[in-house]
Amino acid sequence: MKSLSEIETTSKRASKAAGYSWGIAEEVGIGVGTLELFGLEGIKNLNEYFKSRVHNKFENLDLINKNNQSDKFPYCPIIFGISFLDQVKTLEKFDKIRLSNIAYPLLVLPFLSRSSEITGKRIHYKFDKHEFLLNFNVKVFSKIFNDKCPIIAKNVEIIFLENKDNFSEEDWKSLYKLSEETFVEESDSLKKSAAGAGLTDND
């Protein structure tokens, strides 16, 4: 089994050889490593994308808007991911970003995962029938880990989710009331046995 270091280093060098700057290549290496850690096909998708670049053209999306559509060539997932990460503090104000015609959309996922950590908000990533919930660059939830992701995603939505509790106020109050049974009133004996009690001040 390949180590995370091997995966990141090889992905970074391959990205540089494919024509990206060392800075972008570094980000790609980290991203592919993240995908593999999440159990997703990072190496496979990156390899196929680089092979596709030999014979196909892809459009760079540097400035992301609320709605983005490429009618001529599919968007490059790497440049889109880098742009999203750089602009995320502005983009989160849109709540939802729509995108059409992007190549190898799985490669965008690690950039969104890191964006979730930066904004402190979970991100819901949807393309075609695939859905992912990204949690602060710590976890990815999806029901379709074993499904093959599309080469081109025609309809993509990136949604910033507002932070809220996953439980009702009633459940919280009920649980908190139970927890109160562990509260102990401070008695004289507890005061005497508390840390620092009984020490002699020689000053």
Query: Over pLDDT 70: what percentage of the chain?
Result: 88
pLDDT band at 65 (very low <50, low <70, confident <90, very high): very high
pLDDT at 57 over 70: yes
pLDDT at 186 over 60: no
pLDDT at 164: 85
pLDDT band at 21 (very low <50, low <70, confident <90, very high): very high
DSSP character at residue 94: G
Top pLDDT among 185 and 39 is at 39
Reference 123, options 164, 80, 86, 160; nearest CA is 160
pLDDT at 12 over 80: yes
Three-class SS of residue 115?
helix
Three-class SS of residue 158?
strand
Query: Over pLDDT 90: what percentage of the chain?
Result: 73
- Contact criterion met (CB below 8 Å) for 125 and 158: yes
pLDDT at 147: 66
pLDDT at 6 over 70: yes
pLDDT at 149: 82
Write out pLDDT tens, residues 80-126: 999 999 999 999 999 899 999 999 999 999 999 999 999 999 999 99
67 forms beta bridges with 98
Query: Across all residues in the chain, what is the average pLDDT?
Result: 89
Residue identified by tokens 């503090």 is 89
Top pLDDT among 39 and 104 is at 104
- Any residues with CB less than 8 A from the CB of 77 and at least 6 apart, and which? 49, 102, 103, 104, 105, 106, 107, 108
What's the whole-model pTM score?
A: 0.82
- Contact criterion met (CB below 8 Å) for 115 and 123: yes
Alpha-carbon gap, residue 174 to 23, rounded angstroms: 51
Alpha-carbon gap, residue 75 to 52, rounded angstroms: 13
Alpha-carbon gap, residue 150 to 130, rounded angstroms: 9
- The helix/strand count (H/E) of the chain reads as 7, 8
- Contact criterion met (CB below 8 Å) for 128 and 155: yes
- Mean pLDDT within 32-41: 93
Alpha-carbon gap, residue 111 to 84, rounded angstroms: 7
